[in-house]
Structure 1
Amino acid sequence: MGQINACTDPHHHVDDAAGFVRAVERACNERGLRLTPIRGHVLGLIAKAGKPLKAYDLLDQVRDGGGPGAAAPPTVYRALDFLLANGFIHKLQSVNAFVACHHPSTAQHSVPFLICDQCHSAVELEDEAVVASLDARARTLGFMPQAQTLEVHGLCAQCVNGGAH
């Protein structure tokens, strides 16, 4: 199996929301992208959540917090689209929620996620071998992959052991 690195730690790079936003600002500067105030605010809320955040919960937080820009759904969705397209966040399709990417300095990419059905944590499991294996298997079947979504549901170690997070 491929090398598994520290990105399997659910708090890797995202335990400090403000630091995470600064890392994304640096990545935007390096790539010639513009992290507008509303994009930065949405990103900060996602990073601060520490677990998957649904779009309407995010919209409520933007409205309640009096963040920059209009809090209309299209504004928040445009911010989410930008953050997704540039690899700063991931969308968990099975729970229709968003999480901060553990390594914002890389481009948009596919990674498997482990999602706890009890505490709702999501761990970004960076394992290039899993992604490459799925891609290679699809190609041997004549299928041309465009995107991958691999989400494994179950219970995290802390929930299995009855511990608090």
Structure 2
Amino acid sequence: MHPTANTAPALPPGTAPTEASLDRAAALCARRGAQLTALRREVLRLVLGADQPLGAYALLDRLKASRAGAAPPTVYRALDFLVEQGLIHKVERLNAFVGCADALDHPEDCGCGAAHDHPHQFLICDRCGATAEVSDPGVALALARAARAAGFVPRRATVEVEGLCARCAGA
């Protein structure tokens, strides 16, 4: 399996998420016994439609355009749900959220549970903030082997690499 990189969640940057993508997310949640409520759907729409990772308060500001009474706990609960369902990832270094690069591309009978477990790493540009999700099973395997050798049992691992994206490096 070759590593793949996507600089956007499941859609090209700047492209508004389609209702079909959001419907696939709702169907994925339903197959797992969960519900993508209207609020969760709207938060997912905002994350998927962003061209870079969004923090919770930036999401709250955008959400208030359609839900004046939205409050931080509302956004945090929706984000927690979306992370648990594997539809978005938290980029720890940025304390922000991005859509999963392949969560909505799974066949209906894939059988994966909530929080689709695939290796993911993030490449974060120090200059422009562009964030690319890279899914390289070799990196995950190396981490798992190193943890096992140390007698460590990992719960989850997120690799975040800081540097310059191709555009900034060429400038």
TM range (shorter): 0.7 to 0.9
Please state how far the C-alpha of 1:119 moved relative to its aligned partner: 1.5
**2:60 counterpart residue number:** 59
8 Å Cα contact 1:84/1:91 also seen in 2: yes
Query: Is the aligned partner of 1:154 residue 2:151?
Result: no
Task: Using the aligned pairs only, state the percent identity.
Answer: 40
CA distance in 1, matches of 2:100, 2:7: 10
**2:152 counterpart residue number:** 143
8 Å Cα contact 1:43/1:83 also seen in 2: yes
Please state how far the C-alpha of 1:89 moved relative to its aligned partner: 0.4
**1:133 counterpart residue number:** 142
User: Which amino acid letter does the alignment assign opposite residue 150 of structure 1?
Assistant: V
Q: Which runs of 5+ in 1 are unaligned?
A: none
8 Å Cα contact 1:20/1:47 also seen in 2: no
Q: Which runs of 5+ in 2 are unaligned?
A: 107-111
CA distance in 2, matches of 1:117, 1:154: 6
User: Which amino acid letter does the alignment assign opposite residue 33 of structure 1?
Assistant: A
User: Which amino acid letter does the alignment assign opposite residue 22 of structure 1?
Assistant: D
- Residue 127 of structure 2, aligned match among 118, 134, 153: 118
- Shift in alpha-carbon separation, 1:23–1:50, aligned structure 2, 3 A: farther
Query: What per-residue deviation string (whole Å, max 9, x for no partner) do you get for residues 53-102 of structure 1?
Result: 01111111111x224x8411111110000001111000011110000001
CA distance in 2, matches of 1:39, 1:70: 15
User: Which amino acid letter does the alignment assign opposite residue 10 of structure 1?
Assistant: T
Q: How many residues are matched? A: 157
- Shift in alpha-carbon separation, 1:87–1:12, aligned structure 2, 3 A: closer
Taking structure 2 as the reference length, the TM-score comes to: 0.84
Across the aligned residues of Structure 1 and Structure 2, the Cα RMSD in angstroms comes to 1.8
- Shift in alpha-carbon separation, 1:11–1:74, aligned structure 2, 3 A: closer
